[in-house]
A and B are shown apart, each in its own frame.
Chain A
Amino acid sequence: MARTVIVGASVGGVRTAQALRAAEYEGEIVLVGDENVLPYDKPPLSKALLAGTTSVDNVGLLTREAAAQTGIELRLGSAAVGVADGAVRLADGTELPYDDLVIATGARARPSPWGTPPGVHVVRSLDDAHRLGTALRAGGPLVVIGAGFIGAEVAATALGMGLTDVTVVDPVAVPLSRVLNEEVAGVFGDLHAGRGVTTRFGVGVTDVREAGGALEVVLDDGSVLPAATIVVGIGAIPNDEWLAHSGIPTDGGVLCDSHCSSVEAPHVWAVGDVARWWHPVYDRYVRLEHWTNAVEQAVCVAHNITHPEDLRSHAPVEYVWSDQYDWKIQLVGRTGGDLAHVRVDGADPARSFAVLYGDGTGRFIGALTVNWPKALVTCRRALSRPSTPPSTVGDVQGLLNSARQASRPTGAGAR
């Protein structure tokens, strides 16, 4: 019987296994995970799991019963350490021969370049979230290094847990100004400041040091921030080192063609944060660390494994979200600080709005939506319908203005 081995039991790996069964794959499926815990979902790690308002049982991706019912064999608690002669080798010495191999080992938090004395945390796994949650319940001050989505979510969660002394540091003067234009990105810095977070933007970190049972963060303007806990949220690194000497080429992720198939090794595929695949629309290699991309890529790979005569390319419309305080922030398609853009206000412009981005011809290519569900749906529809002619920024602006007016009588949409 044919066998597919999937290495990585987070959302990309689990969804590949499920999509294979949905595509009526009849062979064996083995799902390998390095953590000795049933597959769980990662977005809550910086929010509800960190706060302790939910438990891992509520964010499971695959129960033991569901795995058994659908014929997915779970091999949890032993990491894959290599691939040779058509088999995956695990740390415990097990060899798993495969007909198809799906690499879904994700990415890990970029480690602190300032050392990791006790009290310095990253957030990427269940253990990370539990350790950090325990530390935060002991009180502040908390210093978050990096004002990206993870850092911003941790700061928001910590405030919600009752910490009063929370500082976010980022070397960029206006964080997110690379993906959003400055004026829009500034709204999110103001959001944190308005909720009571101290923001230190445009200042780099030069050192983290221990100081009498506590920590200190030294900034490049000479100031020193005392900390009981430090969270480092400065990006992620794809987990591809275990493939060295495997004959599967990597370059900051597993190099794949547009079908998400290894550029060299036959019957080897990659899904999720670890995949660097040739995007057929952008005409370049792309690696995305987005939940929704992992799910869509899983479906694509499962289709391609089961339909070798009808291979599909993976050309997703990017979608990423971040939930901070009571704000819901979403990015769809392509956005960028240097793109032409139009802001459209929602029913309560102080907290609900959309920013539409266009290419040089005015074609609508992406959006930021904030606390405005109808705008999110409208923008995603406009970007995801390949059958209709491309929308212009003006078209979408008109749709959003109509949506705002339609929602006004009830006041809905402005929660």
Chain B
Amino acid sequence: MAVVKADLEACQGYANCVVGAEDVFDIDDGGIVVLLRTTINDAERSRVEEAARSCPVSALVVEDQ
């Protein structure tokens, strides 16, 4: 299992994460990322990591739990 963390100060609302994994990430009315859940299972980890790497300001990380 892994956890996803977001740096809300860094987030600029570019929304690449939403396109990469819309079951994990959303953007609120103010343009800041919302984590729909934080626990990521092994089968989906590479997909969520790919979404995290697509963040233009590196505001997202996926770490071992």
Contacts and interface: CB of A to CB of B under 8 A. Distances in A.
B30 A373 contact: yes
B13 A373 contact: yes
B29 A412 contact: yes
B28 interface: yes
B27 A377 contact: yes
A330 B15 CA distance: 11
Interface string A34-62: 00000001010000000000000000000
Interface residues of B, number: 21
Nearest to B55: A295
A199 interface: no
B12 interface: yes
Contact of B18 (A295, A380, A410): A380
A19 interface: yes
Contacts of B22: 381
Most chain A CB neighbours (cut-off 10 Å) among B12, B13, B28: B13
Interface string A94-105: 000000000000
Contacts of A41: 56
A22 interface: yes
B19 to A, nearest CB: 5
Given A323-B12, A328-B12, A374 B53 contact: no
Interface string B1-38: 00000000000111110110010001111111000000
A13 to B, nearest CB: 13
A391 B12 CA distance: 27
A328 B54 CA distance: 18
A413 interface: yes
A319 interface: yes
Nearest to A403: B29
Contacts of A18: 53
A12 to B, nearest CB: 12
Contacts of A291: 56
Interface string B45-65: 010011001101000000000
Contacts of B15: 373, 376-377, 380
A412 B30 contact: yes
A374 B27 contact: yes
Given A15-B53, A22-B49, A296-B54, A319 B16 contact: yes
Closest 4 CB pairs of A and B: A373-B31, A412-B29, A413-B29, A407-B29
